């Protein structure tokens, strides 16, 4: 088999600022050992997130020039609306400035006190918006999804048995909705099978429960369905996407992921009554319903990106590049989540640093070590992000201590990725010297964004 090449040429480049280990040690100290607080100029390879960091295509940049900035009724909105309708099959499309704005609007209306939201795994902003509105989020990930080292094709599946048991025990009346996150970002970027979505939809319909898709990485998920699930090998991605959305009542989307846009999102649904309430809130918080917090040019970029992301050559390269890095690390004995997910490589920090207890945040310790060693920025997805305190102020740790290396779309080449692998392997060889961390300052919600830390 020949090398799978990047399916693009580079027309415009951004310089990387090189720096030294000594410089980075100080920069990280100045940032209170929180990589979110670093200046990005001080980062050499930025794998903090795949959100809003994609390289747009020449067609998207051309779309930017075509953007019509009329306050109301812009043709850019109609092109955007038509793309979203074409892919999701939903009858109402509401633009927002990003995914969490869609969540805020949707959960302000459907959520509230004693309302429960059940998911395979809720993303951090999704959970935070549910809780902020007074509701409760419950994750019901399938058994395979709980063991990082055991490969399975669809580790993002929701545990449908647990869902049915919950409904039997507590009834369905207080369940605001079920949300399936595709791919499962906080659970390793693992895909959800069509069979699992179909079964979840059957359960929801039987109990009159609304089903939404958190669609941020819908195309990556559809590619996994095409390549791993029986009966989908010869179906085009768009057809698979159409089927996936057809089982749901609506979706939230961050266009900063699978739409190659630097900003944007949307909320789509079929319920006209709910849509009216959402639009009324949209006008107060985001903007008029034909722009919703976005410029006309952003709407154009999203409309074009939504089709580009479904191209099979792109998805083939995209998924392969994540697999390539995962494989290199795994071959060197580095504990990684298997199989590779759709948008990121996840290191298992508990296994990587067995000498650091969970209340000393092994994930964050690893994040810091990778920055110091190689100027690579990544993020902890573990107890710093998801940990809670009990009444005695003892840490209730997250289920997994992961470090996520999210790969921006169409941005880094194979030599960048080879360098990343080399740095991680070097850190792995010196892992015994890595020290645990403690939090010195934190916010009440989403603390990982602003927390200050130090060595324990």
Q: Choose, by CB under 6 A, the member of 181, 201, 360, 364 that binds ligand PLP.
A: 181
Determine, following the binding rule CB under 6 A, whether residue 216 of this chain makes contact with ligand PLP: yes
User: How many of the other CB atoms lie within 10 Å of CB of 360?
Assistant: 18
Question: Residue written as tokens 């040690």?
Answer: 25
Number of H helices and E strands in the chain, helices first, is 16, 16
Q: Residue 437's closest CA among 367, 361, 379, 349?
A: 361
- According to CB under 6 A, which one of 125, 157, 248, 364 is a site residue for ligand PLP? 125
Determine, following the binding rule CB under 6 A, whether residue 126 of this chain makes contact with ligand PLP: yes
| Residue 268 binds to ligand PLP (criterion: CB under 6 A) | no
Helix, strand or coil, per DSSP, at residue 265: strand
Q: Which residues contact 335 (CB under 8 A, 6 or more apart)?
A: 148, 149, 347, 348, 351, 352
Q: Does 364 bind ligand PLP (CB under 6 A)?
A: no
Residue 13 CB, shortest distance to ligand PLP, in Å, is 26
Task: Please tell me whether residue 335 binds ligand PLP under the rule CB under 6 A.
Answer: no
Name the token pair of 304: 């074009």
Measured between alpha carbons, how far is 93 from 67 in angstroms, rounded to an integer? 18
Smallest gap from Cβ 123 to ligand PLP, in A, equals: 3
Nearest to 157 by CA among 207, 212, 205, 195: 195
User: Residue 11 to residues 233, 261, 335: CA-CA distances in angstroms?
Assistant: 33, 18, 37
The yes or no reply on residue 98 touching ligand PLP (CB under 6 A) is yes
Our finding on whether 127 is near ligand PLP (CB under 6 A) is: no
Question: Rounded to an integer, what distance in angstroms lies between the CA atom of residue 319 and that of residue 215?
Answer: 17
Choosing from 24, 115, 155, 256, the residue that interacts with ligand PLP (CB under 6 A) is: 256
For ligand PLP, which is the closer residue by CB, 370 or 406?
406
| Residue 185 binding ligand PLP, by CB under 6 A | yes
Size of the site for ligand PLP (CB under 6 A): 15
Distance CA 59, CA 309 (A): 13
CB of 438 to ligand PLP, least distance (A): 28
Q: 340 with 321: CB under 8 angstroms?
A: no
User: Least distance to ligand PLP from the beta carbon of 49, Å?
Assistant: 8
Tell me how far, at minimum, the Cβ of 265 lies from ligand PLP, in Å. 5
Nearer to ligand PLP, 190 or 360 (CB): 190
Which positions ≥6 away from 274 have C-beta within 8 Å?
109, 110, 250
Is residue 123 within the footprint of ligand PLP (CB under 6 A)?
Answer: yes
* 100 sits near ligand PLP (criterion: CB under 6 A): yes
139 binds ligand PLP (CB under 6 A): no
Nearer to ligand PLP, 101 or 384 (CB): 101
Please tell me the distance from the alpha carbon of residue 232 to that of residue 239, in angstroms, as a whole number: 10
Rounded CA separation 129/205 (Å): 25
Give the chain's radius of gyration (CA, Å). Answer: 21
Nearer to ligand PLP, 110 or 254 (CB): 254
**List 110, 254, 262, 364, residue binding ligand PLP (CB under 6 A):** 254
Binding-site ranges for ligand PLP (CB under 6 A) = 51, 98-100, 123, 125-126, 181, 185, 214, 216, 254, 256-257, 265
């Amino acid at each position: 088999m020949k090398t799978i090449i990047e399916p693009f040429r580079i027309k415009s480049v951004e310089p990387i600022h090189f720096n030294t280990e000594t410089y980075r040690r100080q920069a990280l100290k100045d940032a209170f050992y929180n990589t979110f607080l670093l200046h990005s100029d001080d980062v050499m390879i930025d794998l903090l997130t795949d959100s809003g960091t994609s390289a747009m295509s020449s067609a998207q940049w051309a779309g930017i020039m075509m953007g019509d900035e009329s306050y109301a009724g812009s043709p850019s909105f109609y092109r955007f609306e038509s793309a979203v309708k074409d892919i999701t099959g939903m009858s109402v499309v509401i633009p927002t400035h990003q995914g969490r704005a869609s969540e805020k609007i949707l959960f302000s209306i459907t959520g509230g006190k004693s309302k429960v939201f059940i998911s395979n795994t809720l993303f951090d902003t999704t959970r935070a918006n549910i809780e902020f509105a007074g509701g409760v989020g419950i994750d019901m990930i399938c058994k395979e999804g709980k063991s990082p080292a055991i490969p399975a094709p669809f580790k993002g599946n929701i545990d449908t048995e647990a869902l049915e048991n919950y409904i039997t025990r507590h009834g369905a009346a207080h369940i605001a909705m079920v949300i399936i996150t595709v791919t499962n970002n906080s659970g390793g970027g693992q895909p959800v099978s069509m069979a699992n979505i179909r079964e979840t939809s059957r359960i929801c319909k039987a109990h009159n429960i609304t089903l939404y898709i958190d669609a941020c990485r819908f195309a990556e998920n559809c590619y996994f369905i095409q390549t791993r699930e029986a009966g989908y090998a010869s179906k085009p991605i768009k057809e698979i996407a159409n089927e996936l959305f057809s089982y749901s009542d609506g979706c939230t989307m961050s266009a900063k992921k699978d739409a190659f846009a630097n900003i944007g999102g949307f909320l789509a649904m079929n319920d006209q009554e709910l849509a009216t309430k959402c639009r009324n809130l949209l006008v107060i918080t985001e903007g008029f319903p034909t722009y919703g917090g976005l410029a006309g040019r952003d709407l154009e970029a999203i409309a074009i990106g939504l089709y580009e992301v479904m191209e099979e050559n792109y998805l083939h390269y995209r998924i392969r590049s994540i697999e390539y890095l995962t494989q290199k690390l795994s071959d060197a004995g580095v504990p990684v989540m298997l199989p590779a997910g759709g948008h990121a490589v996840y290191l298992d920090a508990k296994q990587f640093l067995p000498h650091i207890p969970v209340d000393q945040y092994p994930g964050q310790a690893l994040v810091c070590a990778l920055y110091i060693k190689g100027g690579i920025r990544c993020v902890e997805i573990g107890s710093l992000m998801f940990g809670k305190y009990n009444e005695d102020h003892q840490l209730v740790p997250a289920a997994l201590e992961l470090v996520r290396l999210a790969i921006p779309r169409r941005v880094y080449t194979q030599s960048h990725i080879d360098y990343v692998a080399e740095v991680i392997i070097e850190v792995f060889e010196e892992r015994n010297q890595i020290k645990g961390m403690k939090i010195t300052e934190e916010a009440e919600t989403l603390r990982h964004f602003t927390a200050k830390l130090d060595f324990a």
